[in-house]
Structure 1
Amino acid sequence: MDAPPVVLGLDFGGTKTALAVAQTDGTRLGSATRDTRAGLGAAASLAGAIQAARELLDTVAPGRSLAAVGVATIGIPGEDGVALAPNIPGWDALALGRELREAFPGAQIRLATDVKAAARVEAESGALVGCDPAIYLNLGTGLAVAIVANGAVIDGRNGASGEIGYNLRGLDDVGRAAAQRIPLEDVVSGKALMLEAAAVLSAGDGQRIDGRGGDDEIGALAAEFFARAEAAGSDGADPKPARLVDRFVAELSFHLVNLAIAVDPVRIAVGGGLVRSWAPIRDGLRRALDAAVPYPPELVRAAYPYDAPLLGALTLALAAARDDEKLSDSSLLTPKTAPAAPGLSRRD
């Protein structure tokens, strides 16, 4: 009897690509990561990821057919390119959908923005289950949100719903093109925070905290900086780190409060590398939401704070396999039967 098919999840980030293979019941068979190597360009980055995926499939699922591939990526993916993804040179002109269909013939391909993929898995089996509407806030290397309504993640007309990194920051920005102003993501994101942190720390620390790392590295360094800011504020030492943290959380709060007033969500879940510093971020956001939103929403840490885009990619692949009727519905991971995302238990 032939072994049942498997699915593949790919999460393309600015500095690393995460991969996972799962059975059709959601059980994870194996995973891997590789450097994105953005400096080599989009074609080389994609080719390396495809090779890594084939090697992973050969290792953990030898001889088993591939039913579907789910892809989460920075930017807005399509058949002919990925919009709003400046971190990987040439990614905008790469025919991502077509390239993946050629690389994995016969497999269904599903593409999604990484933050929207993360929101989907949180809505189906994580912190946003049963919350309608809801907001997923990603605080990682970059900044974006996803809005969940009627159990689905809102894409928007062009797939750009939730790209708050482009938000105006003040009245002086009105009427100015992006190149003529400082967009929100350049001030409120993990990368922006670490670049500012480097400027207020000693030379040695500043060289270590330079904002060029990936989500995991920046999250870990940010946690150190938040701890230093708290210590400095309590012992009367250098106040600059504490001021920087306060300003960062305040500007983030300003935009999240306005979004919460517009959406009126039941709950906001926060994921990404910066939730390693959850307590000070939560406290500042909580105060701002309670003070200004007519009906303040719940505010929680995401159930899968660091792996949600990859888990979302796997969920996309499982749904694609089901929609293609290659597998019986009873064997698939669905929102009704799955208490958690593929291969991971829930996290507090």
Structure 2
Amino acid sequence: MTGPGGAGGIREVLLGVDVGGTKVDLALATPDREVLARRRLRTNATEGADQVVARACALARELVAAHSAQLVAAGVVSPGVVRRDRVLLAPNIEGWGALHLEEALRAGLAGVVEAGVPLVLGNDVKAGALAESREGALRGSRTGLYLNLGTGVAMAAVVDGTVLSGAHGAGGEVAYAQTAPGQTGAAEDRAPLEELVGGRSLDTLASRVAGRPTTAVEALLGDDEALRSALSPALDALDVAVVNACCLLDPDVVAVAGGLMGAASVLLPRLQRAVDRGVPLPPRVVGARHLVDAPLVGALLLAADAAGAAHAVRGSTPRLPTKELA
């Protein structure tokens, strides 16, 4: 790969994009991942998928132009099972599931993502697990579990440094885990665990009980015992899901990330007590190194890996296919 100056003095850069249910994070970085710029947009999820892609791509083009840079790879991650022509299990953004993500991104980034520039698509939580495995709380772990508590709830398992995708790319989609016998689930587009312990649900519950707008983090850190007690059934369900996952995978570390980690002082001891009670050989439960931006760091890692692969085969392969980390 050409050095930081690129051909003719043009700086080579990577683009990372993390599309979430409430926000879109973008980062521009050098090939060795020195971050040059970071920006954030509101997702405005109810306004549809097309506007999310359009605004994110417009901002990405501005960032590349502002740095007089040449984009050599891009990594884009989002919730769900991310495929080139659609995204499965992604209800948090209106129309996201029907989006041909590769086509939409290449069209929106025209003039920036040229033919031959790798565009890597992936799942946000698995990208976060990759980041923690490479340079965070799961580094050196033989079997690690990454738990993301954000707008939704999901896990990813890492074994000997490899993030496990599963047969269909849906490994770790614990949002759909049952919390009681006979519940409706994925077949009816319901996600029982997420409906209890996802960030949106917890914030809504906290606000309803408080009689005013508030958040689950504020409730958990506050001194209103009735309000904290109202959240306990949801957190009990989370405890059960984590204990069951640990019994199945036997991790040595559970790394927890996401917006709900604003209340880490409450959540981490609680989860540690749960696994100590319920798991035969309990793992350590720790905060992730990248508490709120692990998926974005993972997106840059995917881009860096793809840029390196493209350089290795440059001249023999005219255009790398879009890659996926489902």
User: Which TM-score bucket, shorter chain as reference?
Assistant: 0.7 to 0.9
1:11 paired to 2:2: no
- How many residues are treated as equivalent by the alignment? 302
CA distance in 2, matches of 1:114, 1:159: 12
Aligned residue number for residue 280 of structure 2: 294
Aligned residue number for residue 136 of structure 1: 146
Q: Residues 168 and 93 from structure 1, CA distance in 2 versus in 1: closer, same or farther, beyond 3 angstroms? A: same
Match runs of 1:236-247 below 5 Å = 240-247=226-233
Shift of 1:193: 1.1
CA distance in 1, matches of 2:233, 2:162: 33
**Contact 1:12 1:74 (C-alpha < 8 Å) held by counterparts:** yes
Structure 2 residue matching 1:155: 3-state secondary structure: coil
CA distance in 2, matches of 1:327, 1:51: 30
CA distance in 1, matches of 2:180, 2:42: 37
Which amino acid in 1 is paired with 2:72? A
Q: Residue 297 of structure 2: which of 292, 307, 311 is its match?
A: 311
Aligned residue number for residue 232 of structure 1: 224
Match runs of 1:106-255 below 5 Å = 106=115, 107-173=117-183, 178-179=187-188, 183-202=192-211, 205=212, 208-209=213-214, 221-228=215-222, 231-233=223-225, 240-255=226-241
Structure 1 residue matching 2:58: 3-state secondary structure: helix
Q: Residue 81 of structure 1: which of 82, 86, 106 is its match?
A: 86
Which amino acid in 2 is paired with 1:299? V
Q: State which drifts further: 87-96 or 287-296.
A: 87-96
The answer for unaligned runs of 5 or more in structure 1 is: 210-220, 234-239, 329-348
Which amino acid in 2 is paired with 1:2? G
Which amino acid in 1 is paired with 2:260? L
CA distance in 2, matches of 1:290, 1:133: 17
CA distance in 2, matches of 1:197, 1:82: 31
Shift of 1:101: 3.1
Shift of 1:176: 6.4
Shift of 1:181: 6.6
**Contact 1:8 1:317 (C-alpha < 8 Å) held by counterparts:** yes
CA distance in 2, matches of 1:313, 1:198: 33
CA distance in 2, matches of 1:82, 1:52: 22
1:47 paired to 2:54: yes
Structure 1 residue matching 2:251: 3-state secondary structure: coil
The answer for unaligned runs of 5 or more in structure 2 is: 1-7, 315-326
CA distance in 2, matches of 1:232, 1:36: 32
Match runs of 1:17-96 below 5 Å = 17-59=24-66, 61-62=67-68, 64-96=69-101
Task: Report the aligned-residue RMSD.
Answer: 1.9
Q: Residues 6 and 188 from structure 1, CA distance in 2 versus in 1: closer, same or farther, beyond 3 angstroms? A: same
CA distance in 2, matches of 1:176, 1:40: 26
* Deviation readout 1:107-166 (Å, 9 max, x if unpaired): 201111111111100000011001011100001111000000121111112211100000
CA distance in 2, matches of 1:171, 1:43: 38
**Contact 1:139 1:273 (C-alpha < 8 Å) held by counterparts:** yes
CA distance in 2, matches of 1:194, 1:132: 35
CA distance in 1, matches of 2:291, 2:176: 23
1:264 paired to 2:250: yes
% identity of equivalent residues: 38
TM-score when normalising by structure 2: 0.87
Q: State which drifts further: 142-151 or 1-10.
A: 1-10
Which amino acid in 1 is paired with 2:119? I
* Deviation readout 1:6-27 (Å, 9 max, x if unpaired): 1100111122211110011211
TM-score when normalising by structure 1: 0.82
CA distance in 1, matches of 2:101, 2:150: 23
